[in-house]
Structure 1
């Protein structure tokens, strides 16, 4: 398990992503699942840093990562502005995406597609997001033992 609280800065986000990947690797999680988790975490935490700041301060991000028997469980907490990613509809994916001037919502769409379960709450302490990635997480090498 990994349980961290860190300043809401891009530098700290990318340091945390390295620690998450190492934790998952040490737990025997397959490369493809680790890549999915990293992509989702990067999208969410970068959004927290870039869009969740309050005028008074930068804020903090909390992360709890647990590797269970058949799933990876993630909890993200951010004490910034309220933001419920579940309230966004599916973005228009028709036409040439390169021609669109504003591409909002694609990252959240990706998160919703990759996570098995996603839950959001907000209270006086901030935003709370719980994610679950269903997987049989053993590496290919572990199956041969």
Structure 2
């Protein structure tokens, strides 16, 4: 996470977008480790983060079990929390705060690309 913070800071990405990127990155990593490698085997997770003041692109690749986060139904939010099924809320939040969310599976494994549109920097006042 520290490397992501450094990259986002260097690109002067606004604080709100930085928080969104960190939240989505953490959610994707936790889900990948928890569900991509259920048998406890070792795996590889690659993260690429490209940041500019006007756009952030996060790419996560893994060689875990196939998992398309776009196929997950949004959780049923109304009602009592005690009656809800566990899971799905983090992915729902991640998809709702990102500007774009893509998934593909190829010979190397899963690939998720998430885009964020940071707020434009404040324009100087004359």
Classify 1:56/1:33 alpha carbon distance in 2 versus 1 (closer, same or farther; 3 Å): closer
SS in 1 for 2:86: coil
1:19 aligns with 3
2:16 aligns with 32
Are the counterparts in 2 of residues 28 and 137 from structure 1 also a CA contact under 8 Å?
Answer: no
1:52 aligns with 36
C-alpha separation in 2, matches of 1:100 and 1:36: 28
1:124 aligns with 107
SS in 2 for 1:39: helix
* Aligned Cα root-mean-square deviation (Å): 1.9
SS in 1 for 2:48: strand
Number of residues paired by the alignment? Answer: 125
Given the two structures, how large is their TM-score scaled by the length of structure 1?
A: 0.78
C-alpha separation in 2, matches of 1:55 and 1:95: 34
2:78 aligns with 94
Unaligned segments of structure 1, at least 5 residues:
1-16
C-alpha separation in 1, matches of 2:21 and 2:99: 11
Are the counterparts in 2 of residues 79 and 126 from structure 1 also a CA contact under 8 Å?
Answer: yes
Deviation at 1:104, TM superposition (A): 1.6
Deviation at 1:68, TM superposition (A): 3.4
SS in 1 for 2:78: coil
Unaligned segments of structure 2, at least 5 residues:
none
C-alpha separation in 1, matches of 2:57 and 2:20: 13
Counterpart pick for 1:105 among 82, 88, 100: 88
Dislocated runs of 4+, deviation >6 Å: none
